[in-house]
Amino acid sequence: MTDADIQKQPYMNDDPSVAGYYAYHNETNWQNLVMQKAYTKNIYLKVTGGDNIAKYAISLGFLNNDGLTKNTDLSKYNMRFNGDLNLSRHMTATTNLSFTFSEQNLGTGKCRKTNPLFLALVKAPFLRTNDVSATGVESPSLADKDTLNISNPVAITTAGQGLNKAYRFLGSMGFNYEISKHLDFNTTIGIIYNKVRESFFVPRKGVVPDTLFNAIAYSRLGSQVTSLFSLFNDTA
């Protein structure tokens, strides 16, 4: 741009009576607005016991980890049971069961148009998070993308969503029969079941639209579900 074009930009005019002055004369710390202090909680409980007929072990766990970016976190629950049984003089059995559930707020991804950490580093500090009137009255509505074509990181951490829910079950049961002193028969049957649900949402207000092959994408919404079921047997 020429010198005259630069002087016409609203952020170059220091006259408070000019329209747009309050929208372009601020000291916004974008990194403080999108980042947070993160804490981790990890709780674990284990119980074991039994006798000469049966032995068992049960464990329960909970993990919660706050993300460094606002509205990102991870919660995980897990349970496990192990058992050894003496069914008879020659026959024993083992049981292994485990279940895990996790829920994670991932944010909106690594794209430079929707990554709040990247945007907080490149967003001009003289801009505001919300719309503002000509007299300096701030609106509750978040500001749109700026004249430099950079998204509003606060709009992404506030309205953007990226959720992942995962379930996992693993169970197996094994039997061993002593036919003779030198010959055993054993078999193990197991099940594995995994299921993942993912969804995301990118708001229109405050975010630079995405250029597709044949269109311009503003608000973006998507989801998917994947699952795996496996049954196995090992006999020897």
In the chain, where the domains are located? 35-108+160-235
Q: Which residue has the tokens 């279940």?
A: 99
Do β-strands 138-142 and 73-86 pair in parallel, antiparallel, or remain unpaired? unpaired
For 72, which DSSP code?
Answer: -
> Encoding tokens for residue 60?
């329960």
Amino acid identity at 24: Y
* Res 110: pLDDT: 73
Q: What phi and psi, each to the nearest 5 degrees, are found at residue 16?
A: -60, -20
> Encoding tokens for residue 167?
């379930």
For 12, which DSSP code?
Answer: G
- From the centroid of its chain, how far is CA 142? 24
Picking from 127, 120, 121, the residue whose alpha carbon sits closest to that of residue 156 is: 120
Query: Over the stretch 75-132, which tens digit does the pLDDT of each residue have?
Result: 999 999 999 999 888 899 999 999 999 999 988 767 888 899 999 999 999 999 999 9
Residue 149 CB neighbours (<10 A): 9
Please state the pTM of the whole predicted model.
Answer: 0.79
* Res 85: pLDDT: 92
- State which residues of the chain have pLDDT below 50: none
Q: Calculate Rg over the CA atoms of the chain.
A: 29
* Res 104: pLDDT: 94
Q: Are 192 and 230 in contact (CB under 8 A)?
A: yes
